[in-house]
Chains A and B, each alone.
Chain A
């Protein structure tokens, strides 16, 4: 079975919710919808305090090419436009809406029928994605229409669908592939049409055999879609590692998948594209895994964007007393939340609660030069050295050692027996080097 070769780790999988059917989370009393849930320019708010809005209505318009629309996920009245702390820990603008009923805009097809016939043209699909607010749902939240618009001079011959879900605990994509397999496959066909190509590969790690079998059966009646099981290894869900595992192509340092003629989209994104294109339904809800060893009732929920995380936790049995950390995303790359008022956003694949006993890092000790960090780095970097250079402020040297290649997968810090905060220092070095490089361009 295929996998990527260089580095990688095998953290305990802890997929506690793999067998839990997705449930619909009840509507909250109010939502807070941030205007920046994607990489790129924040959308511009186009509603005012006191306005009535419907579910699916645009409340903030995309600003420029690398930006998408933001829609109301509920119907009700705009209470205020104010700032809220989001997953990053910074304040940003959000539209607060008090929920009244659930009245949708008329254009959305809310029936359960699966429409396989793709009527929209390539260009129409791409603009529909932007209008419908589609972004990468694996966590990177890069606007999908940008990836579908292949720049002139570049060529795409393969679409890769990321169904790897290599982070421990998370099962949102897994459940979606099991429960919405056919819709995902139509979504993949739509993406292929947008890219004007005939081939797609779906990479799924071998710990989701049920999803592999299910999709393989369904894919038989779709043209050009191949389901590819992969050997379990973190971080196989990283674009470069997934492309390497499936095709053997190596995206060069500092370049994009399109440079090796590949475009990668997440399985959840394929589903969102299906809904946007076939049902005219904008991205207003997503599947979120709520999990943790101390949680009474972990599960997978279909959640409206803007719902406070607290509601999700409540539904899963309430916040356990000894909770020390709340993580948005996976334990390897996720962000720790400062409170539970933070709203669910497009890029939030899961919420994990850690008991306080697992929340603290071990104390940092001297580097014993065991080379374990070097051997697990999927990009062939030398984390111990990069940390040292960043600590000493030797940023030019760090740049030579390719610090900016680091994708922050965390394998090095995870592995270091001396508990050194390798990635913390690498991040510091990386951001400094990027700033230096920008200043060079300006001069």
Chain B
């Protein structure tokens, strides 16, 4: 009896999956979209992303170290993901000081005041984005047109996004058939050749990221698929009811932030529901709210607001929507 053995309780094995590995998995899944963004927006994409990531990491470190005097967990990768997503949700010509303010709101207010990772009710990157949208509406809605490295950073040539063109046009009574000719074709949109937030433009890149996330089992299909399907079905109904006034479902899914939102923002672990049933309801809610805001609301885009609104219902859903228990009812097969 010379050796002392470890006598911890079962289980004695672990999957070796860690928070850090999951977060870096998300980072990898975001890379295709980041590369397409750099391809289309050049220096702007690089500068905005770097500033956002660095300031999120620095704010997390400073707050944990000096304000909260808690162990610093900045290496867990969650602030890195927030930084990337924050950059993905803004135009590539956004001035540095606004990005820094947005990062401070994301990390300092949306995440740390609630107790840090795991405790924040609202998606930090989206809180940062909405804060910037309200505080700096002009800068947050000027969208550089894709021109690769031929364009500058804050002096990039800007134009309206497809969603804005359609929304404004319809408001002014222009026929939809005319408006369609002013926006990129579906295949251009699919490849990301359109104005918009830094990371939302290329459907193909986001879908590659989605497949990676599914394969690595970082997320499940429930939230993204229910959001996209709901938007698809809802806009199909509107389109069939009045094709002259309502854009087709393809347009709604490809133009704007639906894919970025559905795959990367709404699936944020901390702020989404804890079981498949609730996740599907959450996804349907986001889908419906997105279309309502886009078609009847004041903004051309509604994904961010839809996700934040549904974030608010997550605690309630976790409380009342329970996973199907084994042996709940007597089933005889």
Residues of A whose CB lies within 8 Å of any CB of B are 6, 9, 11, 89, 168, 240, 244, 247-253, 255, 260, 323-327, 329, 331-339, 341, 352, 354, 356, 358-362, 365-372, 374-375, 377-382, 384-385, 402, 405, 408, 410-411, 413-415, 417-419, 423-424, 427
Contact = CB atoms under 8 A, between A and B. Distances in A.
B6 A168 contact: no
B274 A405 contact: no
A168 B327 contact: no
A414 B17 CA distance: 9
Interface string B237-273: 0000000000000000000000000000000011011
Interface of B is mostly: loop
A89 B323 CA distance: 36
A358 B5 CA distance: 12
Contacts of B325: 253, 379-381, 402, 405
B322 interface: yes
13 contacts: A249-B331, A323-B3, A323-B5, A334-B12, A336-B7, A360-B6, A360-B8, A371-B272, A371-B273, A382-B274, A385-B274, A385-B318, A423-B11
Contacts of B6: 324-325, 336, 354, 356, 359-360
A382 B322 contact: yes
Contact of A9 (B15, B21, B322, B323): B15
Contact of A337 (B7, B22, B119): B7
B182 interface: no
B5 A331 contact: no
A332 B327 contact: no
Contact of A250 (B7, B9, B327): B327
Nearest to A251: B327
A255 B332 CA distance: 14
A297 to B, nearest CB: 20
A251 B272 CA distance: 31
A13 to B, nearest CB: 11
Contact of A362 (B3, B14, B279, B332): B14
Contact of A415 (B5, B15, B272, B324): B15
B10 A332 contact: yes
B18 A369 contact: no
A336 B331 contact: no
A339 B9 contact: no
A9 B318 CA distance: 23
Contact of B118 (A367, A381, A405, A419): A367
A337 B1 CA distance: 12
B7 A89 contact: yes
Nearest to B23: A368
A327 B12 contact: yes
B141 interface: no
A370 B327 contact: no
Contacts of A335: 10
Q: Summarize A's interface: helix, strand, loop or mixed.
A: loop
Contacts of A338: 5, 7
B19 A336 contact: no
B117 interface: yes
A240 B11 contact: no
Contacts of A358: 13
B66 interface: no
Q: How large is the interface on B (under 10, 10 to 19, 20 to 34, 35 or more residues)?
A: 35 or more
A367 to B, nearest CB: 5
Interface of B: 1, 3, 5-15, 17-19, 21-22, 73, 76, 78, 116-119, 220, 269-270, 272-276, 279, 318, 322-333
Contact of A380 (B7, B17, B117, B324): B324
A418 B14 contact: no
Given A89-B7, A367-B118, A369-B274, A414 B326 contact: no
A240 B327 contact: yes
A374 B11 contact: no
Nearest first, the 7 A-B pairs at minimum CB distance are A248-B333, A410-B11, A380-B325, A336-B7, A359-B6, A379-B326, A366-B118
Contacts of A6: 324, 326
Contacts of A402: 325
Contacts of B1: 339, 341
Contact of A384 (B19, B274, B276, B326): B274
Contact of A368 (B19, B275, B330, B333): B19
Contacts of B117: 366, 368
A113 B273 CA distance: 61
Nearest to B4: A338
A368 to B, nearest CB: 5
Nearest to B115: A366
Given A324-B6, A415-B15, 18 more contacts: A324-B5, A331-B10, A331-B12, A333-B11, A336-B12, A359-B5, A365-B19, A365-B76, A368-B118, A369-B269, A370-B22, A375-B275, A377-B323, A380-B324, A382-B322, A414-B15, A418-B18, A418-B19
B13 A417 contact: no
Contacts of A374: 274-275, 323
B274 A361 contact: no
A381 B323 CA distance: 7
A384 B119 CA distance: 13
Contact of A11 (B13, B220, B269, B324): B13
A371 B19 contact: no
Contact of B333 (A240, A247, A427): A247
A371 B317 CA distance: 14
Contacts of B76: 365
A127 to B, nearest CB: 32
Nearest to A254: B327
Contacts of B22: 368, 370, 417
A354 B327 contact: no
B13 A331 contact: yes
B211 to A, nearest CB: 19
A372 B21 CA distance: 14
Nearest to A424: B9
Nearest to A422: B11
Contacts of B329: 250, 252
Contacts of A423: 9-11
Contacts of A323: 3, 5
A252 B5 contact: no
Given A332-B10, A333-B11, A362 B327 contact: no
B117 to A, nearest CB: 6
A405 B5 contact: no
Contacts of B220: 375
Contacts of B274: 369, 371, 374, 382, 384-385
B93 to A, nearest CB: 33
A367 B115 CA distance: 12
A331 B323 CA distance: 27
Nearest to A259: B330
A319 to B, nearest CB: 8
Contact of B276 (A244, A334, A375, A427): A375
A337 B323 contact: no
A372 B273 CA distance: 12
